[in-house]
Structure 1
Amino acid sequence: MSDDEFFSFDAEMADVKRLVSDNQVVHHSKHRTLDKEKAAKREAAQAATESKDDPLSTEIREMVSPDDQISFMRPGVQHGVFRKLRLGQYQIEARLDLHKHSVEQARRAVQQFLQDCLRIEVRSAIIVHGIGRHSKPSALIKSAVNQWLKALPEVQAFHSCQKHHGGLGAVYVMLRKGPNKKMDTRERIQNRKG
């Protein structure tokens, strides 16, 4: 450092006071607000990522009425297949009852149930959500199930049940085929062709 630089530095530092003890800390409000802004942005991004990763959100965006029929069919599902599902003509391989569940309990139960169904290659199931006339707000679990099933790519279609299976308080769910069921279908088609 040259003498000119030293004197220039010394002149600039003339009114700087030395901290008396080690406990004194200098707070910069600008950094604090930036840190708060960064933290808020980080939390918002994390929440957005979590909601993308978990399609079973407990925030219900569209409420249905207790007397509403709920129904959904993904593109590519044949109309005849959907008709048979709607009429309850497929063998029910699994059943989940959500009566007396909170929304969070129902979310976990539906998630686990569908994972188990996919693991053992269940194709057709029933989820009993109840009509929800007495819940506050009404049809809360029914609305949640309607939203969740639409959000899950492994659900091919669903429709409110026939009266003998639970009527408007339950839903038939058709899941995508597992590898073994796909192989069975290919073999059946090959055998028909001869």
Structure 2
Amino acid sequence: MDEDDLILFRTAVGDARPLRHGARFLHPPRKPKPIPLQSQRDQREVLPDSLSDHVYWADSLESGEELAFLRPGLQSAVLRKLRRGHWVPQGELDLHGLTVAEAKVELIGFLHHCQKNSLRCVRIIHGKGLRSKNREPVLKNKVAHWLMQRDEILAFCQAKAADGGGGAMLVLLKSW
């Protein structure tokens, strides 16, 4: 710097005083984003209660013995593709031999597992009811009730004979 610049600088900052070290403003650290622990707990507690036995589903099923359901608003081609094996089952739940209460708990856990692992198509084996009272399929109807109440279930139908026939169903879930 030449002498003129130095004089000009000193006149510009002549009455300035140095800052004291204690007068600094420290910005508080950023808070981490909150984790919705209560919402997560609520969701886990709601799952068992979300499957009620008080919904009549026969109107939504096709006629005959075959069990089938298609969420309203979806094209019938979705159910047709499910029946023809367009989607390969990525998981399986075997409920036959369980009580209704045990089956409900297992189904809830399985649906949670499907959502967590982004499974799209699964097979649920409910059995044919050959060992139940009056030889009627108890779990078949209960599972259908429960599945129809779940928003993530798009469609389900009876499995092909080679995959369990009347004792199993294929279920199509929303993509996660």
Give the superposition deviation at 1:57.
2.9
Task: Name 1:143's counterpart in structure 2.
Answer: 141
Task: Name 2:113's counterpart in structure 1.
Answer: 116
Give the superposition deviation at 1:139.
1.0
Number of residue pairs the alignment of both structures matches: 127
Give the superposition deviation at 1:78.
2.6
Cα distance in 2 for residues equivalent to 1:74 and 1:116: 21
Computing the radius of gyration over CA atoms, which structure comes out larger, 1 or 2?
A: 2
> Are residue 78 (structure 1) and residue 86 (structure 2) matched?
no
The correspondence for 1:157, drawn from 141, 155, 158, is: 155
Kindly indicate whether the alpha-carbon contact (under 8 Å) linking 2:89 and 2:123 is maintained by their aligned counterparts in 1. Answer: yes
- Per the alignment, do residues 141 and 53 of structure 1 end up closer, same or farther by CA in structure 2, a change over 3 Å counting? closer
Cα distance in 2 for residues equivalent to 1:92 and 1:52: 23
The correspondence for 1:56, drawn from 48, 51, 58, is: 51
Kindly indicate whether the alpha-carbon contact (under 8 Å) linking 2:126 and 2:167 is maintained by their aligned counterparts in 1. Answer: yes
Give the superposition deviation at 1:59.
6.2
Cα distance in 1 for residues equivalent to 2:78 and 2:57: 27
By percentage of residues, which structure has more helix?
A: 1
Quick one: which amino acid aligns to residue 55 of structure 1? Answer: S
Kindly indicate whether the alpha-carbon contact (under 8 Å) linking 2:130 and 2:137 is maintained by their aligned counterparts in 1. Answer: yes
Cα distance in 2 for residues equivalent to 1:176 and 1:87: 18
Q: Which runs of 5 or more structure 2 residues have no equivalent in the other structure? A: 1-44
Q: Deviations over 1:93-119 (max 9, x none)?
A: 000001211000100000000110011
Give the superposition deviation at 1:82.
1.6
TM-score (norm 1): 0.58
SS in 1 for 2:133: coil
Cα distance in 1 for residues equivalent to 2:76 and 2:144: 20
Give the superposition deviation at 1:52.
10
Kindly indicate whether the alpha-carbon contact (under 8 Å) linking 1:58 and 1:107 is maintained by their aligned counterparts in 2. Answer: no
TM-score (norm 2): 0.64
- Identity of paired residues, percent? 35
SS in 2 for 1:109: helix
Q: Which runs of 5 or more structure 1 residues have no equivalent in the other structure? A: 1-49, 179-194
Task: Name 2:175's counterpart in structure 1.
Answer: 177
SS in 2 for 1:96: strand
Task: Name 1:127's counterpart in structure 2.
Answer: 124
Quick one: which amino acid aligns to residue 162 of structure 2? Answer: H
Cα distance in 2 for residues equivalent to 1:52 and 1:98: 18
Task: Name 2:102's counterpart in structure 1.
Answer: 105
